[in-house]
């Protein structure tokens, strides 16, 4: 089986310090959390950014400041900004995160970014809207900018939308999916097997189990040959009733699960190879 790519979703847009005081907001806190995850074995940092007061933002300058701070501590990590941002943001606001350059590494744009392939109920009156036109705009922009999408899907219908967008030329193969389970589609072994079986041959996938589903989904992905996402964006507990101290602590738990189940952990260079990204020009 190929090595395991661990993604750390260190911050998110919705989770706050009221949920867990270790959730990062400031540039320094975000860099600290990225470093803890990277040192523990994460090769991808899925990145949202916040203003110092915790409000989510997709401001390009804030992304630049965070990416530069992370890069000092995580020299070869794959930094994957979110284009989902937070509920209610406009498309143009959301796409700013794909504009950040890292000239010292020869990167005109981030290597990856998320591409959410459908609309999802987030509870109460919150709806995360991604119309077909939004998906087309984001897909086309990412192709033009050479950004590999991590296709975020919250249910199997979104896999079908991604395949439709691929057929129309808005997403290139090989596709990489992130199954976010436990929000709209439930997070059961049956659901994970079904959705993983629904993606085109040659695609790769990772799973983000939300809340209590985080580690059970991780364990299943490890044995099924998928990849794993953990972090404060999806879950603030390290075990039932115990707050996680850091993203690093959550990555360490995923690493322990992988070791017990006989799966080796991919370095960032190995993750790039698995995902078909160019080697980093250091």
Q: Where does this chain bind Zn ion (CB under 5 A)?
A: 82
In this structure, are strands 56-57 and 49-50 parallel, antiparallel, or unpaired?
antiparallel
Compare residues 91 and 270 and give the one whose CB is closer to ligand KMH.
Answer: 91
Compare residues 175 and 258 and give the one whose CB is closer to ligand KMH.
Answer: 175
Q: Does 152 bind ligand KMH (CB under 6 A)?
A: yes
Candidates 87, 143, 210, 274: give the one binding ligand KMH (CB under 6 A): 87
Q: Does 63 bind ligand KMH (CB under 6 A)?
A: no
Compare residues 38 and 232 and give the one whose CB is closer to Zn ion.
Answer: 232
State the Cα–Cα distance between residues 243 and 231, nearest whole angstrom: 12
Angle between helices 27-40 and 247-260 (to 10 degrees): 10
In this structure, are strands 148-153 and 204-209 parallel, antiparallel, or unpaired?
unpaired
Q: Tokens in use for 28? A: 């320094």
SS3 content of the chain, % helix, strand, coil (to 5): 40, 20, 40
Query: From the CB of 257, what's the least distance to Zn ion, in Å?
Result: 22
State the Cα–Cα distance between residues 115 and 171, nearest whole angstrom: 9
Q: Does 57 bind ligand KMH (CB under 6 A)?
A: no
Chain mean position to CA 142? 16
Contact segment (CB under 6 A) with ligand KMH among 84-92, 140-148, 199-207, 270-278 equals 84-92
Q: Does 128 bind ligand KMH (CB under 6 A)?
A: yes
**Which residues would be at the binding site for ligand KMH (CB under 6 A)?**
13-14, 82-84, 86-87, 114, 116, 128, 152
């Amino acid at each position: 089986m190929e090595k395991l790519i661990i993604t750390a979703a260190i911050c998110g847009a919705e989770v706050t310090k009221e949920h867990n005081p270790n959730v990062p907001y400031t540039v320094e806190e975000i860099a600290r959390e990225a470093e803890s995850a990277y040192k523990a074995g994460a090769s991808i940092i899925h990145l949202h950014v916040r203003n110092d007061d915790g409000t989510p933002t997709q401001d390009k300058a804030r992304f630049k400041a965070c990416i530069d701070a992370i890069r000092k501590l995580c020299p070869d990590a794959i930094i994957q900004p979110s284009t989902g941002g937070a509920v209610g943001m406009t498309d143009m606001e959301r796409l700013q995160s794909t504009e950040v350059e890292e000239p010292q590494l020869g990167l005109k744009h981030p290597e990856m970014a998320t591409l959410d392939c459908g609309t999802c109920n987030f509870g109460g009156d919150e709806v995360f809207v991604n119309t077909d036109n939004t998906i087309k705009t984001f897909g086309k922009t990412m192709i033009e900018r050479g950004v590999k999408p991590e296709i975020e899907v919250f249910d199997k219908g979104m896999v079908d939308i991604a395949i439709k967008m691929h057929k129309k030329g808005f997403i290139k193969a090989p596709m990489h999916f992130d199954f976010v389970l436990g929000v709209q589609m439930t997070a059961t072994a049956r659901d994970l097997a079904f959705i993983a079986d629904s993606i085109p041959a040659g695609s790769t996938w990772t799973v983000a189990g939300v809340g209590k589903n985080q580690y059970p989904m991780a364990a299943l992905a490890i044995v099924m040959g998928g990849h794993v996402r953990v972090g404060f964006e999806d879950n603030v507990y390290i075990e039932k009733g115990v707050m996680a101290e850091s993203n690093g602590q959550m990555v360490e738990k995923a690493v322990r699960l992988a070791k017990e189940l006989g799966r080796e952990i991919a370095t960032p260079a190995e993750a790039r190879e698995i995902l078909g990204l160019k080697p980093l020009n250091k």
